[in-house]
Chain A
Amino acid sequence: MSPLAVAAETVDGGQRALTISLFVIFVLATLVITIRASRNNATAADFYSGGRSLTGPQNGVAIGGDYMSAASFLGIAGIIALSGYDGFLYSIGFLVAWLVALLLVAELLRNSGKYTMADVLAFRMKQRPVRVAAGISTIAVSIFYLLAQMVGAGALVTLLLVVTSDTAKNITIVAVGVLMIFYVTVGGMKGTTWVQIIKAVLLMTGTTLVTILVMIKFGGSVSALLGEAADKSGKGDAFLNPGLRYGTDAQGLAGKLDLLSLGIALVLGTAGLPHILTRFYTVPDAKAARKSVLWAIGIIGSFYLMTICLGFGAAALVGPDAIRAQNPAGNTAAPQLAEAIGQDFFGDVGGTVLLAIIAAVAFATILAVVAGLTLASSSSFAHDIYASVIKRGEATEKQEVRVARIAAFAIGGVSIILSIYAQKLNVAFLVALAFAVAASGNLPAILYSLFWKRFNTQGAVAAIYGGLGSALLLVIFSPVVSGKPAGADGKSTSLVTNPDVDFSWFPLENPGLVSIPLGFFCGWLGTVLSKEYNAEKYAEMEVRSLTGAGSEKAVSH
Chain B
Amino acid sequence: MTTKEERSSTDAGGGSTFAEVQQSEEFQGLKRTLRRFVFPATVLFLAWYVLYILLSAYARDFMATKLLGNINVAYVLGLSQFVSTFVIAYVYSKYADKHFDPTADRIRHRLEGTTAAPATTTSKRTRS
Contact = CB atoms under 8 A, between A and B. Distances in A.
A547 B109 CA distance: 9
Interface residues of B, number: 62
A454 interface: no
B108 A556 contact: no
Interface string B24-45: 0001001100100110011001
Interface string A199-235: 0000000000000000000000111101100100000
A259 interface: yes
A466 B95 CA distance: 36
B78 A88 contact: yes
A18 B53 CA distance: 42
Contacts of A267: 46, 49
B112 A549 contact: yes
B128 interface: no
A499 B8 CA distance: 62
Contact of A553 (B13, B72, B124): B124
A284 B104 contact: no
Contacts of A540: 9-10, 12, 18
Interface string B95-108: 01000010011011
A537 B68 CA distance: 57
Given A99-B88, A223-B70, A284-B122, A543 B93 contact: no
A556 B13 CA distance: 23
B56 A103 contact: no
Given A102-B92, A241-B74, A553-B125, A543 B52 contact: no
A95 interface: yes
Interface string A88-109: 1100110110111011100000
B85 A227 contact: no
A95 B85 contact: yes
B72 A555 contact: no
Q: Please classify the interface of chain B as helix (H, G, I), strand (E, B), loop, or mixed, using the class held by over half of its residues.
A: helix
Given A224-B69, A539-B18, A539-B22, A547 B31 contact: no
Given A223-B68, A223-B71, A226-B71, A543 B42 contact: no
Interface in B37-87: 37-38, 41-42, 45-46, 49-50, 52-54, 56-58, 60, 63-64, 68-72, 74-75, 78, 81-82, 85-86
Given A99-B45, A227-B70, A546 B57 contact: no
Contacts of A556: 122-124
Nearest to A85: B74
Contact of B85 (A96, A224, A539): A96
Contact of B57 (A98, A256, A264, A284): A256
Nearest to B52: A92
A297 to B, nearest CB: 5
A434 B7 CA distance: 37
Given A99-B85, A100-B42, A547 B69 contact: no
A555 B12 contact: no
Given A92-B81, A99-B45, A549-B112, A241 B89 contact: no
A542 B32 CA distance: 13
A263 interface: yes
Contact of A287 (B13, B68, B78, B118): B118
5 contacts: A223-B70, A256-B58, A284-B122, A546-B31, A547-B108
Interface of B: 1, 9-10, 12-13, 17-19, 21-22, 27, 30-31, 34, 37-38, 41-42, 45-46, 49-50, 52-54, 56-58, 60, 63-64, 68-72, 74-75, 78, 81-82, 85-86, 88-90, 92-93, 96, 101, 104-105, 107-108, 111-112, 118, 121-125
Interface of A: 43, 45, 53, 85, 88-89, 92-93, 95-96, 98-100, 102-104, 221-224, 226-227, 230, 237, 240-243, 246-247, 256, 259-260, 263-264, 267, 284-287, 290-291, 293-294, 297-298, 301, 304-305, 397, 535-537, 539-540, 542-544, 546-550, 553-556
